[in-house]
Amino acid sequence: MPSDRYAEVALEEKQRLFDEVKADPRYKTYLYGCYECGICVAACPSARFYDFSPRKIAQTLAREDVELFYEQLNDDVWNCSQCFSCNRCPRQNSPGGLITIMREVAVKNGLRTTKEALAGYTRIIYKIMTTGTQVSPDMLQEDAFPDWGPQVKAVSQNLDVWRRALPPETLHTTGLSWQVEERTMHELYAIWKMTGTLDMIGELDEGLHDIMEEIMDDALEESGLPTE
């Protein structure tokens, strides 16, 4: 039965997004059809906890069912764990790879469901795109990780001194995973600008985009690195 969950969205729009996914250069190496054997589902962690099936994703794309594709683009893809356990497919499909492309298209097109799914993510995006490392010790705060136990509190209370009690010089940091040279960060900014990655953020979170653009433009102007 065709999906009617997003009946208000025109078929042409669904087709446009499907075509965008299909046009990705990686698509042909991720989809070779589907035996419907279910091995990918058996291996999938998300299939155990959500109404989620990598087999259905592969099937939908193989059948080119754009209605169901659009539903999955909105309601399913963010449940994937991106572990690629589904790569054990005997047909050599990669449902996880297909989902990676679908997520990227969903971000580029600023889907409402994508904005909702990534609402808690702006801090991580900001961190990686501005510093070049995406996990920093000072993120370990007990209010953010109450279910990780009292050790998180011990880390946050002793953070500065425990970081200095590490032998590698590159790790004497609290705001970065390791010390990154300024020039290195600036080169990363140039990459984000030249590849259109910063523009993608504009679809997701305009405020975040503007903050990052200002930081990057100022730094790049000083560095003399190219932006296009």
Partner 1 sequence: MEPIDIPVAGTKVQTSRVFERDPETVRDEDLREAIWELGREGEWIVQPVPEPYYLAPTKFGRQKKIPLEHTWHHKSCGQCGHIPGYSTSIFWLNRLLGFDYFDPRDQTSCTAWNYYASATSNQAAQAAVAMRNFSAAYETGYYPLIHCGTSFGHYKEVRHELVHDAKLRRQVRAIIEKLGRPFVMPEEIVHYSEWMYAVRKQLSERVQFDLSKITATVHPACHYYKLQSGDAIYDPEIYGGQRTAAVTAVVQELGAQVADYSTWYDCCGFGFRHILVQRDFTRSFATLRKIEVMKQEANPDVVLTHDTGCVTSLDKSQFAAQAHGRNVGVPVMSESQFAALAVGAHPFRVCQLHWHAVDYRPLLHKMGIDVERAWAEFEADVEKIKHGEMEYLTWEHVL
By CB under 8 A, residue 172 contacts partner 1: yes
Binding piece for partner 1, criterion CB under 8 A, among 9-17, 66-74, 164-172, 213-221: 164-172
What would the DSSP string read from start to end of 49-68?
HSS--HHHHHHHHHHT-HHH
26 is a site residue for partner 1 (CB under 8 A): yes
Q: Return the residue of 66, 68, 155, 216 that touches partner 1, per CB under 8 A.
A: 155
Q: Which residues contact 60 (CB under 8 A, 6 or more apart)?
A: 68, 69, 72
In the list 20, 104, 142, 213, the residue contacting partner 1 (rule: CB under 8 A) is: 104
Say how far apart CA 202 and CA 191 lie, in whole Å. 16
Residue 134 in contact with partner 1, rule: CB under 8 A: yes
95 token code pair: 């449902």
Does residue 100 bind partner 1 (CB under 8 A)?
Answer: yes
Count other Cβ atoms within 10 Å, centred on residue 70: 22
What's the gap between Cα 116 and its chain centre? 13
Q: Is 66 in the site for partner 1 (CB under 8 A)?
A: no
Smallest distance from partner 1 to CB 10, Å = 23
Give the interface segment with partner 1, choosing from 1-9, 10-18, 68-76, 178-186 (CB under 8 A): 178-186
